Chains A and B, each alone.
Chain A
Amino acid sequence: MVIPSEEARLVAAAKAGDAAAFTALVEATQADVYTLAYRLTGNEDDARDVAQEAYLRAFRSLKRFRGDARFSTWMYRITANCASTHLTKRTKGRHDELSDDDTVLDERPESDPESMAEAGALRDKVTAALADLPPILRAVVVLRDVYDLPHDAIATELGITESAAKVRLHRARRKLRERLFPMPGEEKARAV
């Protein structure tokens, strides 16, 4: 991750046409952008396509980036928009068939193997639950509850109203809660 002042310097240089500065921004943010793309699309190939398209769009519209937010936050919004377009274009159904194989790599160094295993198991559970959500619900909950984007930004990037974004968020949270922590009676109802 690049520090904000260095990021601002790189953005200013890239806006002035410095290709090396833009390359440095790509290198500094690519893992985060890819991670978000992966969470939104649910598979590696789509995530790579979305990340690539996001940087192309960012490059084309860099002059319009005012610097009100961090470059990485701006990239998240572009990535969300690209993923939405990508998923709309794709044949419906493929994302709904995501399996539990969509495990994620844990890059965080942890000292305690036991807590690491426990934390890893929880992350795998939530990741699998996210992958099982319909893409339209997954996008909203990932952008809001994982990446902390405001409702209006989410609505803009996904091309929906703010109230629709909220409705989808609440539905997604409910589905995740039912899947991860079913209340008495819900497990039986789900199995039927």
Chain B
Amino acid sequence: MRSSKFFGSGGVSCDDVADALPAIVDGLEVADIEVQRHVAACLRCQAELVQYRKVLRMLHELRTEVLEPTPGLVPDILAALEAAGERRAIHHLLNGRRVAYVGVIAAATAAGAAGAILASRARRRVRLAS
């Protein structure tokens, strides 16, 4: 809860500025001119902006910190990759076999159909000749 109710020349309150500060602290968003005027005149809001900048700096500094994982992470990752690679290989193999089976069945069906057509034509020719 904020106790300060200072209003700058533009009628912007400390509460309004408090809502704007987290957005403008990194400089990517520009504050309204009224917010800027308020901050320039309000010590409390200036102090709060400084605190936001400190937080941002502390967060940036975390970037250089690298945590050392407990031993075994790399072997675990490589084992998972290998298992996934094997699963994929098996999947490909099964898919390949499935395609081969379908191909054989299709070829056999086509051959059967062609044979039946040829046989019926041959029978028709024999009937016509007789």
A residues bordering B, Cβ < 8 Å? Answer: 22-23, 26-27, 30-32, 34-35, 38-39, 44, 47-48, 51-52, 55-56, 59-60, 104-108, 119, 122-123, 125-127, 141, 145-148, 166, 169-171, 173-174, 176-177, 180-181, 183-186, 189
Contact = CB atoms under 8 A, between A and B. Distances in A.
Contacts, number: 120
B129 interface: no
23 contacts: A22-B81, A30-B77, A31-B66, A31-B68, A38-B67, A52-B73, A59-B81, A104-B67, A105-B67, A107-B65, A107-B67, A174-B22, A176-B55, A176-B59, A177-B48, A177-B55, A181-B55, A183-B44, A183-B48, A183-B51, A185-B1, A186-B1, A186-B2
Q: Which of A122, A169, A177 has the most CB of B within 10 A?
A: A177
Nearest to A184: B3
**Leading 7 A-B pairs by shortest Cβ distance:** A181-B51, A170-B22, A173-B22, A145-B59, A34-B69, A189-B1, A35-B67
B81 A44 contact: no
Contacts of B65: 35, 104, 106-108, 123
Contacts of A170: 22-23
